Amino acid sequence: MNDLVQLYELPLWTSAISVIGTVGLMLGGPVGATLMDHLGSRPTFGIETCTMAITILILYFTLRLPQEKDKRPPHAAGRLEYPSAALLLLSVATPLFAINLGGEMFPWHHPLVITLLCLTPAFVTLFYYVDTRVAATPIVPKRFLRNKHVAVALACTLPMKFVFDQLRFSFGTYLEARTFHSENSFSDWALTCIYLGRPLGTIGSGILVRRYRKYKRFLQLNIIADIVLYACFAWGKIQPEKPAFAPLLVFIGATEGSSEGLWLVALLSLVEPEDQPLLYAFYDLALCIAGDLGIAISLATESSLVRSRLHTKLSGYNNAAEVIRKSLEDLTYVQQLPPRLQTIILDVLISSTEVAFGISCAVLAISLVASLYVKEMSRSPSIMS
């Protein structure tokens, strides 16, 4: 898309994609369930396959990209380096598998998790050797890593992505624990409010960047708003199960959507147009890693806090270890316990999640400090094309 529109218009166009994607996600479940109920699974999958095929054909025959330039970019690769690409994939995927398996499907001391963690530095070292010594055209954009402005922009954006994914991962359990003893129909819509706010935020950031052709101050205000919101979560001031807090939940989603648009401009404005697709690809990869780390570290931190606090509070119970294990595996197990035990477990779950939100405030402070050194958008036509 950055080949078709100017950089300061890019967030507004990506906001349109975000809106369409959000509508698709909202309609996908109900429409899919209706088709499954009336037609069955095979016809439903057949309809989905035909719809995707028709969409691809429409794109193929209607999408018109700018004509290729005669002059190749100075950093263009002559060919794809398959060994480097394969080793890069292994270097990234191996630790992510270990992080997602550890503490969830297997304990952290499981041989598979330990093996994957031990293989990670070996893959990284081998990738670095092949890409720098063997490959004719290295795929790692070293010139980006040497650019201090790119490093500062990543230092600002990645902690925020870490925090946003931590919220989405923890929010369901946090909400379930808060509404455990009450019938609350709005709790099913609380996370939907956050998702609804995202496209609104991307539209807002797109309009601001297009109007003022700046992003630094807006990004800083966004980070400050997030710090305040997460601090309120940590202090228990936000009660997401109550409809009165729905506008605040929408605003939380809007800050995330707005940040995504501002991040995009912050990074792409630092390089020449021919380097923007490559930088965006590595930026997207970095976001995925930061998001997975946010989920994994959140899971490990909250689980450790919950176990530690429950072991302390249930030290007088003979079967405390079994109660803790089953409670963490499935919250519905808590319904079988005496009311006093239920209260202890739910209070520990809520307070531990709020501690994790407090840690998120500290992580956001890193983004705020980095934002002070982020380079403002250039108005040079060569960068804005």
Q: Is residue 162 part of a domain?
A: yes
Overall domain count for the chain: 1
Distance of CA 31 to the CA centre of its chain: 26
CB 202 within 8 A of CB 253: no
Tokens matching residue 273: 């147009």
CA dihedral 191, 153, 366, 288 (to 10 degrees): 40
Residue 357 belongs to domain spanning: 7-29+143-311+347-379
Looking at residue 384, its pLDDT comes to 40
Give the residues across from 102 on adjacent strands.
106
CB 113 within 8 A of CB 98: yes
Q: How far apart are CA 271 and CA 292, in angstroms?
A: 27
Looking at residue 3, its pLDDT comes to 66
Q: Is residue 240 part of a domain?
A: yes
Looking at residue 227, its pLDDT comes to 94
Q: How far apart are CA 196 and CA 314, in angstroms?
A: 40
Q: Is residue 76 part of a domain?
A: no
Looking at residue 73, its pLDDT comes to 52
Tokens matching residue 153: 């922009």
Q: Is residue 254 part of a domain?
A: yes
Looking at residue 383, its pLDDT comes to 42
C-alpha distance from residue 352 to each of 174, 187, 201, 356 (Å): 9, 20, 29, 6
Distance of CA 237 to the CA centre of its chain: 24
Q: Is residue 57 part of a domain?
A: no
Q: Is residue 278 part of a domain?
A: yes
Q: Is residue 267 part of a domain?
A: yes
Per-residue pLDDT tens digits of the chain, which is 385 residues long? 666 777 777 777 777 777 787 777 767 767 877 888 888 888 888 888 998 999 899 988 887 766 655 555 555 445 567 788 888 888 878 877 887 777 667 776 788 888 888 888 888 889 888 877 777 777 766 667 677 888 888 888 888 888 888 887 788 888 888 888 777 677 778 888 888 888 888 888 888 888 888 888 999 999 999 999 999 999 989 988 888 999 999 999 899 888 888 888 888 888 777 777 778 877 887 777 777 777 777 777 777 888 888 888 888 777 888 888 888 777 788 888 888 888 888 898 899 889 989 988 999 999 999 999 888 866 554 444 3
Q: Is residue 114 part of a domain?
A: no
Domain holding 371: CATH number? 1.20.1250.20
Give the residues across from 106 on adjacent strands.
102
- CA angle, corner 351, sides to 346 and 356, nearest 5? 125
